[in-house]
DNA sequence: GCCGTTTTCGGCCCGACTGTTTTCAGTCG
């Protein structure tokens, strides 16, 4: 059985959860969690590190866990994990997904009532058996019933794009309150994580009670699940949870920082603070022996917080405990790309295939957006459902693009195609016709369930063809709808480097493909990327921001993204 | 179980809120 880093990481994090439920040492739990996190963020395969014999050089992996990993490779498991598994029901970890149930309560439910999965938990709550347990009561039982129902309805995390559509009007409503001096979206949405579990808002005000009252009165609030003097949690229509914290303006930076996370970033920062005789809370950075009422060392802005720890400001997108604190320490943080750095969009559709607007309409909208060039890349003939272009229609399309260029200034409209990579890796249009175009994006749109070797060979054939500039949405995933197809990303990156083909970060709200880790991997290998919307309408150019979010999470600087360059400079990279 | 400018032992991030309790444990982020 072939195991990847995520498989190893999952075994370790499950082990952490099982130790916790069985009442083991908290710090041992944290050790397994830390090791799991290290593996899940590792840019190379853990097995290659095993082969090199340097496992214990990884942060959070000592002798013991290194042995466990070696055992996992050989047998698929390790002793501690097997022992814990044997002592507890198979599905007990599902119980911790219920909001309000942590390890202690799960353990009590199992010990006292033999509850080992969600169905048994639901039945016990319904029968009233839970309310009688020590430490549990009627309210806890009701909450469990409600949370199980909610879990069954919505499951896990929502796409960022959807969450932001809900969060934007809320933050604007908060800002519009006379009592509010500042309000921001925090949490994983501010870090541009591709999915979010809930929404976090922070606000500065001298009258928190008024802000809370307005928050719970927002349209679409289904339920108030917690309400204290500084913190309120609500459930919005659509089952999304939203939390709001309010502090005074001079504490706002500390609060924003605290609520932006990630949790792991904070754990590392707080360790660093302790080593300097400081401690960090949502109210600021304090001397470790500070008494109540002592003023903070820093609290007003996020930059002040970092400065108090002798660090430069770290952008939210980097706060994932993925090496950013070390990089900050070395003053080696990337100068992250921004939306304004992009000069053009290399992937879009018009009414010639499955888009909603004409070449002219797209060009005018792109110019208004601020682009200086775009490439029109309609579908090729095999994508019949998308009205793909055959050679004759493509030739007419090229003439139509010339006509638009003659008609408007301020933007160059380039001729391109999104050519299908067919089942066997051949391209969907004749080579000589492709070579007449300014820019060729090759994408997989069919037979997506090929096995890893077949799919990798298929896309590599397109990369090696000599007629392609970029690979579009390289893993084919649709967020929440379709898994990525199985392809060897590392092999793809190497082939692209050799043949001077760029990989796309497709900014389409439903795609975000490549994803952040893969984009970072490509850039680390020296391969530049392109960020495109793949928009099918004139309103879609703004989605580029989502692609920039992915790029920033991938630590990309402008120089690593080709469409930050003027057209001719960009094309120079492809010269072969 | 991991780690080390407090280094091979003794630490390991911090506070808000709920619910079940009469002073606090558990959970969450």
More confident residue, A273 or A151: A273
> Looking at the predicted structure, is the pLDDT value of residue A428 above 60?
yes
Contact (Cβ atoms closer than 8 angstroms) between residue A311 and residue A328: yes
What would the pLDDT profile of A453-487 be if each residue is shown by its tens digit? 999 999 999 999 999 999 999 999 888 777 788 89
Residues A364 and A498 in one domain: yes
CA of A199 to C1' of B28 (A): 14
List the CATH number of the domain containing A265: 3.30.460.10
Pair A386, A535 in one domain: yes
Is residue A23 in a domain?
yes
As a rounded value in angstroms, the CA-to-C1' distance for A201 and B14 is 19
Q: How far is CA A286 from CA A43, A362, A469, in A?
A: 35, 54, 53
Residues A215 and A319 in one domain: yes
pLDDT at A277: 87
Nucleotides of B under 7 A from a protein CB: 1-3, 5-6, 11-21, 25-29
Among A270-284, A405-419, A515-529, name the one with the lowest average pLDDT: A270-284
User: Do A526 and A545 have their domain in common?
Assistant: yes
Other C-beta atoms closer than 10 Å to the C-beta of A424 total: 10
Q: How far is the CA of A61 from the C1' of B1 (A)?
A: 9
Range of the domain at A513: 339-574
Check whether residue A234 and residue A285 sit in a common domain: yes
Mean pLDDT of A123-137: 88
Percent of chain A with pLDDT over 70: 98
Minimum CA–C1' distance nucleotide for A283: B15
pLDDT mean over A319-344: 93
Q: Is the pLDDT assigned to residue A345 strictly greater than 70?
A: yes
H helices present in A237-301, as ranges: 252-260, 263-275
On the question of pLDDT at A154 being above 70, the answer is no
Examine residue A377 and state whether it is found in any structural domain, yes or no: yes
| Closest CA-bearing residue to C1' of B6 | A275
Question: What nucleotide is nearest A135 when CA is compared to C1'?
Answer: B20
Q: Can you give the distance from the CA of residue A132 to the C1' of nucleotide B8 in angstroms?
A: 49
Among residues of chain A, what percentage have pLDDT more than 90?
A: 64
- Which residue's CA is nearest to the C1' of nucleotide B25? A135
User: Is 60 exceeded by the pLDDT of residue A129?
Assistant: yes
For A299, the enclosing helix (H) or strand (E) is none
A124 part of a folded domain? yes
State the pLDDT at residue A509: 83
Is residue A576 pLDDT above 60, yes or no?
Answer: no
Our measurement of CA A103 to C1' B26, in angstroms, reads: 9
CA→C1' distance for A177 and B14 (Å): 30
CA of A104 to C1' of B26 (A): 7
The nucleotide whose C1' lies nearest the CA of A280 is B14
Q: Which of A189, A253, A190, A183 is nearest to A211 (CA)?
A: A183
C1' nearest to CA of A246: which nucleotide? B16
pLDDT of residue A156: 65
Tell me the pairing of strands A221-227 and A373-379: unpaired
Tell me how far the alpha carbon of residue A218 is from its chain's centroid: 28
Q: Name the closest nucleotide to A231, judged by C1' and CA.
A: B16
Round to a whole number and report the distance in Å from the CA of A336 to the C1' of B14.
30
Domain end position, chosen among A269, A304, A329? A329
A32: nearest nucleotide, CA–C1' criterion: B1
Q: Which residue minimizes Cα–C1' distance to B29?
A: A263
A199, A170 contact by CB (below 8 A):
yes
Res. A379: pLDDT tops 90: yes
**Token digits for A546?**
């989502």
Q: Which residue has the higher pLDDT, A363 or A2?
A: A363
**Which pair of tokens denotes residue A24?**
């083991």
Tokens of A171: 């933050």
Residue A204 domain flag: yes
Phi, psi of A427 (to 5 degrees): -95, 155
- Residue that the structure tokens 């922070």 belong to: A202
Instruction: Render pLDDT for A356-371 as a digit per residue (tens, 0 to 9).
Output: 999 999 999 999 999 9
Residue A273 lies in a domain: yes
Q: Which residue is nearest to nucleotide B20 (CA to C1')?
A: A135
Q: How confident is the model at residue A290 (pLDDT cuts 50, 70, 90)?
A: confident
pLDDT for A375 beyond 80: yes
CB A359 within 8 A of CB A574: no
Give A206 CA → B13 C1' in Å.
28
Say if residue A286 is in the same domain as residue A435: no
Which tokens in the block code for residue A44? 């190379």
With 80 as the cut, is the pLDDT of residue A152 above it? Answer: no
Residue A563 in this model has a pLDDT that exceeds 60 = yes
> What CATH number corresponds to the domain at position A440?
3.20.20.140
Q: Which nucleotide is nearest to A233 (CA to C1')?
A: B17
Query: Closest nucleotide (CA of A267 to C1')?
Result: B13
Residue A546, pLDDT score: 94
Question: CA of A100 vs C1' of B27, distance in Å?
Answer: 6
In the block, residue with structure tokens 């072969």 = A576
Residue A334 lies in a domain: no
In the predicted structure, residue A525 carries a pLDDT above the cut 80: yes
Which range (A325-329, A477-481, A499-503, A510-514) has the least confidence?
A: A477-481
- Quickly list DSSP for A325-389: HHHHHTT-------GGG--EE--B--TTTT-SS-HHHHHHHHHHHT-SEEEEEEEBTT-GGGT-B
Residues A430 and A569 in one domain: yes
Residue A225 confidence (pLDDT)? 85
CA distance A283 to A230: 12
CA angle in degrees (0–180, nearest 5) for A45-A48-A52? 145
Q: What is the DSSP string of A497-554?
A: HHHT-EEEEE--TTT-BS-HHHHHHHHHTT--EEEE--BSSGGGGGGHHHHHHHHHHT
Which of A265, A298, A329 is where one domain is finished? A329
pLDDT tier, A1 (very low <50, low <70, confident <90, very high otherwise): low
pLDDT band at A25 (very low <50, low <70, confident <90, very high): confident
Q: Name the closest residue (CA) to the C1' of nucleotide B5.
A: A275
DSSP state of A140: H
Average pLDDT over residues A75-104: 90
Shortest-distance nucleotide from A60 CA to C1':
B2
Per-residue CA distances from A544 to A95, A365, A379, A532, A540 (Å)? 39, 13, 20, 6, 8
CA of A52 to C1' of B5 (A): 30
Same domain, A102 and A173: no
Closest protein residue to B21 using CA and C1' atoms? A135
Q: Identify the pLDDT of residue A229.
A: 86
A180 and A147 in a single domain? The answer is: no
Residue A184: its pLDDT value, please?
96
Region of poorest pLDDT, from A5-9, A314-318, A360-364, A518-522: A5-9
**Quick check: A293 pLDDT over 80?**
no
Of A329, A352, A368, the domain-final residue: A329
Instruction: Give me the pLDDT at residue A37, please.
Output: 87
pLDDT at residue number A2: 67
Residues A462 and A489 in one domain: yes
* Counted domains in chain A: 3
What local confidence, expressed as pLDDT, does residue A149 receive?
Answer: 83
Through-space separation of residue A259 CA and nucleotide B29 C1' in angstroms: 8
Question: Residue A237: its pLDDT value, please?
Answer: 77
Nearest CA to the C1' of B1 belongs to which residue?
A28
| Max Cα–Cα distance, chain A, nearest Å | 80
Q: Which nucleotide is nearest to A228 (CA to C1')?
A: B17
Look at residue A575 in the predicted model and tell me its pLDDT: 83
Mean pLDDT in residue range A432-440:
96
| pLDDT mean across residues, chain A | 91
Distance CA A393, CA A51 (A): 54
Residues A90 and A127 in one domain: yes
Nucleotide B4, nearest residue via CA and C1': A275
**How many Å from the CA of A59 to C1' of B4?**
13
**Whole-number pLDDT of residue A383:** 87
Tell me the per-residue pLDDT of A11-23, one tens digit each, with 9 for 90 and over.
999 999 999 898 8
> Measuring CA to CA, which residue among A334, A346, A338 is closest to residue A376?
A346
Q: Which of A436, A431, A391, A443 is nearest to A414 (CA)?
A: A436
Q: What CATH number is attached to the domain comprising A37?
A: 1.10.150.110
Least confident of A141-155, A204-218, A324-338, A416-430: A141-155
Same-domain status, A126 and A202: no
**pLDDT (0 to 100) of residue A478:** 85
- Cβ atoms of A406 and A360 within 8 Å: the answer is no
pLDDT value of residue A155: 62
* A449 vs A402, residue with greater confidence: A402
Coil, helix or strand at residue A86: helix
């Amino acid at each position: 059985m072939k195991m990847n880093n995520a498989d190893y990481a999952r075994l370790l994090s499950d082990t952490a959860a099982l130790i916790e439920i069985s009442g083991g040492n908290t710090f041992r739990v944290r050790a397994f969690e830390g090791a799991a996190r290290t593996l899940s963020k590792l840019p190379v395969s853990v097995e290659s590190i095993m082969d090199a014999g340097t496992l214990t050089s990884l942060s959070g992996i000592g002798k013991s866990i290194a042995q466990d990993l070696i055992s996992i490779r050989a047998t698929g498991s390790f002793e501690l994990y097997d022992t814990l598994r044997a002592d507890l029901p198979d599905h007990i970890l599902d119980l911790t997904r219920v909001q309000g149930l942590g390890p202690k309560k799960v353990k009590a439910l199992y010990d006292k009532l033999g509850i080992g999965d969600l169905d048994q938990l639901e039945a016990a709550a319904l029968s009233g058996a839970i309310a009688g347990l020590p430490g549990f009561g009627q309210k806890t039982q009701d909450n469990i019933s409600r949370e199980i129902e909610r879990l069954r309805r919505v499951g896990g995390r929502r796409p960022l794009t959807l969450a932001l559509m809900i969060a934007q009007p809320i933050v604007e409503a908060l800002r519009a309150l006379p009592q509010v001096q500042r309000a921001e979206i925090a949490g994983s949405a501010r870090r541009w994580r591709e999915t979010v579990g809930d929404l976090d808002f922070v606000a500065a005000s001298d009258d928190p009670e008024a802000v809370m009252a307005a928050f719970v009165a927002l349209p679409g609030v289904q339920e108030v699940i917690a309400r204290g003097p500084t913190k309120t949690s609500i459930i919005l229509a659509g089952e999304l949870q939203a939390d709001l914290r309010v502090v005074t303006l001079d504490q706002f930076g500390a609060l924003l920082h605290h609520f932006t996370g990630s949790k792991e970033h904070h754990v590392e920062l707080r360790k660093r603070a302790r080593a300097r005789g400081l401690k960090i809370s949502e109210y600021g950075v304090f001397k470790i022996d500070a008494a109540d009422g002592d003023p903070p060392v820093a609290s007003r802005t996020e930059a002040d917080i970092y400065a108090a720890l002798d660090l430069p400001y770290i952008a939210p997108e980097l706060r994932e405990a993925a090496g950013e604190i070390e990089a900050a320490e070395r003053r080696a943080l990337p100068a992250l790309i921004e939306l304004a750095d992009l000069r053009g969009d290399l992937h879009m559709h018009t009414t010639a295939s499955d888009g909603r607007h004409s070449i002219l309409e797209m060009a005018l909208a792109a110019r208004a957006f601020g682009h200086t060039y775009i490439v029109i890349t309609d579908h090729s003939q095999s994508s019949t459902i998308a009205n793909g272009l055959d050679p004759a229609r493509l030739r007419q399309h090229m003439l139509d693009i010339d006509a638009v260029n003659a008609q408007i200034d301020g933007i160059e409209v380039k001729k391109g195609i999104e050519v299908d990579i067919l089942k066997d890796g051949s391209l969907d249009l004749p080579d000589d016709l492709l070579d007449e175009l300014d820019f060729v994006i090759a994408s997989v749109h069919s037979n997506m369930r090929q096995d890893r070797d077949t799919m990798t060979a298929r896309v590599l054939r397109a990369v090696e063809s000599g007629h392609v500039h970029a690979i579009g949405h390289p893993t084919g995933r649709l967020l929440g709808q379709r898994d990525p197809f199985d392809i060897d990303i590392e092999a793809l990156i190497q082939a692209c480097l050799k043949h001077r083909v760029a990989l796309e970060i497709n900014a389409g709200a439903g795609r975000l493909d490549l994803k952040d880790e893969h984009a970072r991997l490509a850039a680390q290998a020296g391969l530049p990327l392109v960020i495109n919307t793949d928009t099918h309408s004139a309103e879609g150019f703004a989605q580029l921001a989502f692609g920039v979010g992915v790029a920033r999470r991938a630590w990309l600087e402008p120089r690593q993204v080709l469409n930050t360059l003027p057209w001719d400079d960009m094309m120079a990279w492809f010269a072969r």
